[in-house]
Amino acid sequence: MKKKFVKVLSLTLTLALICLFSHTISYALTSPVTVKLSDYKVYIDGVQLPVYSVNGNLMVNVFHLDYYGYKILSSENGVYCFRQLGESVVGVPHSKWNEKINTVNIKPKNWCILNGQQVPVLYLNKQPFIFLNELYRKNGVKMNGKRVDIVLGILDGEQKTSEYYDQLNFLLKILKNDTKIVEYTIAYAYYDPKKRKSYLGTSEDIDELFDEMEKNNYTLLQYYVLGCTYYDSDYDKQVYVFEDCVDLIKYYTTQEYINKLRFIFGLYQKANNNCPIYVSSTEVDTKTYNFPVAKIELFNLSLTPVDAIELSFSCLTIFGQPAKDSSGSMQYTGIKQNICIPALDNYMTLWDLSKYSSVGKISNVVIKRLHFIDDSIWINQKSTGGKSF
């Protein structure tokens, strides 16, 4: 149920498009990332596009595509980018080519939808970057040494994005157990961390799918509605089929896709003080239970699930003053075992703060140690002490 709640929340945020008002915590930390203008000459319909070498990988700034016939819709949680037929290609002003880029923004939950398909995205200097070859699909491409010519095809990116939005609407209805949905089939791609490979599958029960992912420590990379039968507003039975679903989902099973994720999340991990777990959000709940509880949302930046964690944090009153236990300490240290923080995914943890009766918020969350399902252990070298798992 917890997993399903996270997926429902994720889809709800995505469906809101650019009108999202929820806050995403993002820490901008300097990183050993090297970004420079590449010597590759890339042209879109004959107009040069600046391409950047990011630690040796060719990437483009999504915001620059606004000058090349693409429409950009951006929010705190992601960016939609789609080709608009008939739009002119004018090129990025040269004043924007050599902007200094040296900061990684850790945004592991953010997404980029390019012409209706989600692609890996890296945030640098608060701007989304995607791999150059994502622009090759559905377009004409000619390569000659370090020169790449891209000829925009007739793909209607706006229509593909609209289809993607329809897809999300049906997924959300299924996740909420909408009684108007009679039956459905989900096509999905998942990552097996033990075999280090990704696979395709289909399911007719979304709850069973999530249970299988959690039971086997799999990471659900992407899933689409292959087809469903439902009742419309007039209570007439309708059949919905997403014809491009199978071709789209295959993209997420390629080794190239996994390698792109490995590169992006590797950079995020370095920017996160080399810690594999990123603290996405914190909250103290004083109403749901009979005692205060710290809710800490964690994101696993590695490709291996975590099954035990030790962390610490400071307890404060709502006014920011120390909230102390009976020994006079405001520091909390705790361990959770037999959990599963999936690879490249979220996990919500709850921490009992009944010993800190005046607590209203927490700060300075420090991940001290991690235990992975392969029995490897990560230790925070800056953290001292620590209990045994």
Domains of the chain: 25-157 (no CATH), 159-269 (no CATH), 275-379 (2.60.40)
Secondary structure (H, E, C), the chain: CHHHHHHHHHHHHHHCHHHCCCCCCCCEEECCCCEEECCCEEEECCEEECCEEECCEEEEEHHHHHHECEEEEEECCEEEEEECCCCCECCCCHHHCCCCCCEEECCCCCEEEECCEEECCEEECCEEEEEHHHHCCCCEEEEECCEEEEECCCCCHHHHHHHHHHHHHHHHHHHCCCCCEEEEEEEEEEEECCCCEEEEEEECCHHHHHHHHHHCCCEEEEEEEEEEEEECCCCCEEEEECCCHHHHHHHHHCHHHHHHHHHHHHHHHHHCCCCCEEEEEEEEECCCCCCCEEEEEEEECCCCCEEEEEEEEEEECCCCCECCCCCCCCEEEEEEEEEEECCCCEEEEEEECCCCCCCCEEEEEEEEEEEECCCCEEECCCCCCCCCC
For every one of its 389 residues, what pLDDT tens digit does the chain have, with 9 covering 90 and above?
A: 445 434 444 444 444 433 332 333 333 444 569 999 999 999 999 999 999 999 999 999 999 999 999 999 999 999 999 999 888 999 999 999 988 998 999 999 999 999 999 999 999 999 999 999 999 988 999 999 999 999 998 889 999 999 999 999 999 999 999 999 999 999 999 999 999 999 999 999 999 999 999 999 999 999 999 999 999 887 899 998 887 888 889 999 999 999 999 999 999 999 999 999 999 999 999 999 999 999 999 999 999 999 999 999 999 999 999 999 999 999 999 999 999 999 999 999 999 999 999 999 999 999 999 999 999 999 998 865 544 44
| pTM summary value | 0.88
